[in-house]
Amino acid sequence: MNRVVVRFADGRMIKGFTNDFTPARTRFHVLPSDAPAGTKPVEVNAEELKALFFVKGFTGDPAHQEANVFTPSRPTVGRKIRVVFKDGEVLIGTTQGYQKGRPGFFLVPADAASNIERCYIVSAAAQEITFIDPSNAPAAGR
């Protein structure tokens, strides 16, 4: 089971567990973390999402501010990318699968201390998606 935070484009959110998410399908199921035993998972339509966050924990560190910078000592895998969502949130990280016209892609956050291990971004929820020129990429300490 994957620990996830489901963020919908309309602002709703579900914290829970999934074992059937795949970008190839439009629907998957989430068992809310606070659901009583015996509760059936909630069906989620991926087209309604902003993003699906695979997280280390449901509480995270409330004092942590997402840095959106690459740590020079941490190797990056994939292309550096910046996503600006329609709600104004900005995520910076790396991707190996973004392609214009696809419904979504995975992103690994630049911030090594992030509670987010990786996330699936729904392309329609983004206002702007741009690759970062390696020579202009934000780095810690800059």
Q: For the domain that residue 42 is a member of, what is the CATH number?
A: 2.30.30.100
Band (pLDDT 50/70/90 cuts) for residue 27 is very high
Domain membership of residue 142 (yes or no) is: no
Domain membership of residue 60 (yes or no) is: no
- Helix ranges (DSSP H) in the chain: none
**pLDDT of 8 above 50:** yes
Domain membership of residue 46 (yes or no) is: yes
pTM: predicted TM-score of the whole model, two decimal places: 0.89
pLDDT in tens, 36-52: 999 999 999 999 999 99
Domain containing residue 94: 2-55+66-136
Domain membership of residue 88 (yes or no) is: yes
Distance CA 39, CA 111 (A): 35
Domain membership of residue 119 (yes or no) is: yes
Domain membership of residue 61 (yes or no) is: no
Domain membership of residue 141 (yes or no) is: no
The domain tally of the chain equals 1
Neighbour order of strands in the sheet with 116-122 = 42-45, 27-32, 13-18, 2-8, 49-55, 116-122, 104-109, 90-95, 79-85, 126-131
pLDDT in tens, 79-127: 999 999 999 999 999 999 899 999 999 999 998 888 999 999 999 999 9
